[in-house]
Structure 1
Amino acid sequence: MLLIVLGELHISKSVPGSPVMNLVQRVKRKVFQPREVLEGYENPELVETIFLKTINYKPGGNWPLVVGVRTVLDFGGGAGLHYKTACQQSPDIRWAVVETPAMVRRAKELATDRLMFFERIEHAAGWLGSVDLVHSNGAIQYVPDAIETIKALCSIRPAKLAWHRVPISEGEPKREIQTSYLSDNGPGSSPASKEKLVRYERNWLSGQAFIQAHEGYRVADRGPDPNERATQQFRFAPL
């Protein structure tokens, strides 16, 4: 999701399935283009779709990134999809999701003493106490001021930061209008009852500005992100 104060964002897309099913879906979408368009990530129908898909999502496999980690600030973590994966191997992990006001309101019914939802970075960090990991997957490009948001995340002095699916521009930063299918938002492959389009603004970040915003940190790892074309993933550690 996205927009408003530092740290209010969301987006997580996943469309697993067999090649045959994906082909059928692509053909169907091409022939029967949805006419209704939802604007932005505060839309109630989009929030509800992500919320329900997260509840039904059944994660599998291990997640090496969170091994030995006690506290995580998940920037743009939706309704807690990444927490569901993490707590399979680390059931005592404490997880603070920073999201849009609309998602925070809807997801609060999923909150526990180990999973909480916040609109602001500093409130999430305050609840965690100390932050072992800042995690963000496909979210920073949807906030109004990505660089200031990154600086705010670094100011809470996490032990490390991990970024996934960050669109990096070779030159100057740029903005574009991006459109997705409603059913592609949120985890899992369950389609929406009626397919619609979702339209939102997406920012391509200057690679130099992105790295420089991490004051007090160094790039520990960087490379193409295999989960989304033309995006990169990063790991930052303290200097």
Structure 2
Amino acid sequence: MSFTQRLRRRLFPPRDAIEGYENEELVDTICRKTAAYQGQANWPLVADLTTVLDFGGGAGVHYKTARQQSPDIRWAVVETPAMVRRAMELATDRLRFFERIEEAADWLGNVDLIHSNGAIQYVPNPVRTIRSLCAVAPAKLIWHRVPISEGEGRREVQTSYLSDNGPGQAPSLAEKLVRYERTWIPEQAFIRAHEGYRMAERSPDPREHGTYQFRFVPD
């Protein structure tokens, strides 16, 4: 973003606000941006994989990069009901969208990887959701941008700009604020939730201050 754009945001902040990830305008913006996005050229993580369950994967943005690395990869996105309904038009025989973890796992069969980037903190009960994901018995789990708390977990309201949601450049739209609740997850509770798995890697995520990336493998 240019200096002029950042200055304009500070001087003329949007007056209208969107509440929560189920908002149709937010979902439509993410889907339209994803449809226009071409993906990146290289993603070694998925080089030898055949099936991925992408928890909170929006309209399939990560699949667009993954298929360039592995054209035959099958990708199941677990998302909110509003996102699933809207993103169905982007589905293919190798990209599908589901509201339930179990349905996504059934479609994939054996799951090589559970991938999640900046999503688990927005569900009502992160620990319970992590346990449900581990019950799928993937070969490994990769987490990005997880906000970790040193003490007890806490909830807060996070604010972003509508145009910042989704990949690439924003389509022509009236700028608005987007508000949603997120949870800072106690680290030990996060680790213990991975029943049957052990933490193989942990490091600060450079893309967002205060968040971490993790890799878990079978115990």
User: What band does the TM-score fall into relative to the shorter chain?
Assistant: over 0.9
CA distance in 1, matches of 2:169, 2:89: 23
Contact 2:26 2:162 in 1 (8 A): yes
* Of 79, 102, 111, the match for 2:59: 79
The RMSD of aligned alpha carbons is 0.9
Q: CA deviation at 1:60?
A: 2.0
Mapped to 2, the partners of 1:172 and 1:61 lie a distance apart of 40
Match of 2:125 among 145, 149, 152: 145
Q: Counterpart in 1 of 2:200?
A: 220
Distance 1:109 1:147, change over 3 A: same
Q: Deviations over 1:88-138 (max 9, x none)?
A: 010000000000000000000111110000000000000001100000000
The unaligned stretches of length 5 or more in structure 1 are 1-16
Counterparts of 1:145 and 1:157 in 2: how far apart (Å)?
Answer: 20
How far apart, CA to CA, are the structure 2 residues paired with 1:175 and 1:196? 23
How many residue pairs were aligned? 219
Q: Residue type of the partner of 2:101?
A: I
Aligned residue among 166, 170, 173 for 2:153: 173
C-alpha displacement at 1:192, in angstroms?
A: 4.8
**Matched residue SS, 2:206:** coil
Residue 213 of structure 1, CA deviation? 0.3
Q: CA deviation at 1:52?
A: 0.3
Listed one character per residue, the Cα deviations across residues 23-75 of structure 1 (whole Å, up to 9, x for unaligned) are 21110001111000001000000000000000111222311111101100000
- 1:191 Cα offset (Å): 5.2
Is the counterpart of residue 127 in structure 1 residue 107 in structure 2? yes
Q: Deviations over 1:2-34 (max 9, x none)?
A: xxxxxxxxxxxxxxx5xxx1x211100011110
Unpaired runs of 5+ in structure 2? none
In structure 2, what is the equivalent of residue 29 of structure 1?
Answer: 9
Report the 3-state secondary structure (helix = DSSP H, G, I; strand = E; otherwise coil) of the residue aligned with 1:134. Answer: strand
Residue 92 of structure 1: aligned partner: 72
Task: Summarize the alignment of residues 158-197 of structure 1 with structure 2, pairs less than 5 Å apart.
Answer: 158-190=138-170, 192-197=172-177
Q: Which residue of 2 aligns with 1:106?
A: 86
Runs of 4+ in 1 over 3 A off after TM superposition: none
* Local SS of the residue matching 1:106: helix
Cα distance in 1 for partners of 2:151, 2:207 equals 23
Greater length-normalized contact order (CA 8 Å, ≥ 6 residues apart):
1
Q: What is the identity percentage for the equivalent residue pairs of Structure 1 and Structure 2? A: 70
Q: Does structure 1 retain, via aligned residues, the 8 Å contact 2:41–2:69?
A: no
Moved more, 52-61 or 134-143: 52-61
User: Could you say which residue in structure 1 is the equivalent of 2:185?
Assistant: 205
CA deviation profile, 1:206-231 (whole Å, cap 9, x unmatched): 00000000011011110000111110
Query: In structure 1, how many angstroms separate the alpha carbons of the residues matched to 2:172 and 2:86?
Result: 18
Amino acid at match of 1:24: T
| TM-score, normalization by structure 2 | 0.98
**Paired AA for residue 159 in structure 1:** A
- Name the residue aligned to 1:12: none
